[in-house]
Amino acid sequence: MVIWLFAAVVGFPGRSSESQAEDQQSLQRVAAGDAGGLGALYDRHGRSVYSLALRILGDEGDAEEVTQDVFAQAWRRAGQYDAARGSVAAWLLVMARTRAIDRFRARRVRPEGRVQDDDGLTLQQLPATSPDAVSEMMAAERGVRVRRALEDLPFLQRVAIELAYFEGLSQREIAERLEQPLGTVKTRMRLGLLKLRDALVEVQP
């Protein structure tokens, strides 16, 4: 594990740290009120933000609105970005996930007239990705590997992770949805996520 952590921290210093530096420069321009900086950010990350929103919402119009919201928020809050908590890309994707899931839930809950569980979960409180995830997340081929690893997971592990990540469901909600005991859901989720991590580690030289 020590070796893995070492590799995770120092590995892949090339392309991803370069693009992170570019992103931070763009964000500084945004913070100074330069719309060109936002354009540059959109050109680099608009596609992944839109794709994540589309995956969560399944509707192109909604995904466009979320993407628009994310970059509007980046424009307003560029000064609040903290590089210690993750890359600019991860920051944008966390915003995209949060907004898309909020919208998804609002859409899902209202027509059925269901009172939303008062479980206190607000997606505003979702943890940001960790700083060392930053360099990992940047490369597109990494995404392909993660997707394959996800597809290779046993059904229950994969669905538990997807419901949590893409729909923001709690473990209890997932257990209800899948008609599985809560303990089973917990162990499957953990197991599946550890396998994804292993898939990421394997790509390290």
- The C-alpha atoms of residue 195 and residue 199 are separated, in whole angstroms, by 6
Between 148 and 177, how does the x/- string for binding to other proteins read (CB under 8 A)?
Answer: --x----------x--xxx-xxxxx-----
Per CB under 8 A, 97 contacts other proteins? yes
- The C-alpha atoms of residue 67 and residue 45 are separated, in whole angstroms, by 10
Closest CA to 155 of 192, 187, 119, 123: 192
SS (H, E, C) 29-78: HHHCCCHHHHHHHHHHHHHHHHHHHHHHHCCHHHHHHHHHHHHHHHHHHH
Name the burial class of residue 197, with classes exposed (0-12), middle (13-18) and buried (19+) by CB atoms within 10 angstroms of its CB: middle
Cβ 23 to other proteins shortest distance, Å: 15
Cβ 22 to other proteins shortest distance, Å: 18
Closest CA to 136 of 48, 3, 14, 2: 14
Contacting residue, 153, 159, 175, 189, with other proteins by CB under 8 A: 189
- The C-alpha atoms of residue 79 and residue 32 are separated, in whole angstroms, by 9
Contacting residue, 5, 7, 21, 109, with other proteins by CB under 8 A: 5
- Which 53-82 residues touch other proteins, going by CB under 8 A? 54-55, 60, 63-64, 67-68, 71-72, 75-82
Closer to other proteins by Cβ: residue 22 or 166: 166
Contact 62, 92 (CB under 8 A): no
Per CB under 8 A, 50 contacts other proteins? yes
Cβ 197 to other proteins shortest distance, Å: 4
Cβ 112 to other proteins shortest distance, Å: 20
Contacting residue, 12, 38, 159, 175, with other proteins by CB under 8 A: 38
Q: Which stretch binds other proteins (CB under 8 A): 12-20, 108-116, 124-132?
A: 124-132
- The C-alpha atoms of residue 112 and residue 114 are separated, in whole angstroms, by 5
Per CB under 8 A, 143 contacts other proteins? yes
Closer to other proteins by Cβ: residue 22 or 39: 39
Give the number of residues in contact with other proteins, rule: CB under 8 A.
85
Contacting residue, 17, 22, 24, 31, with other proteins by CB under 8 A: 31
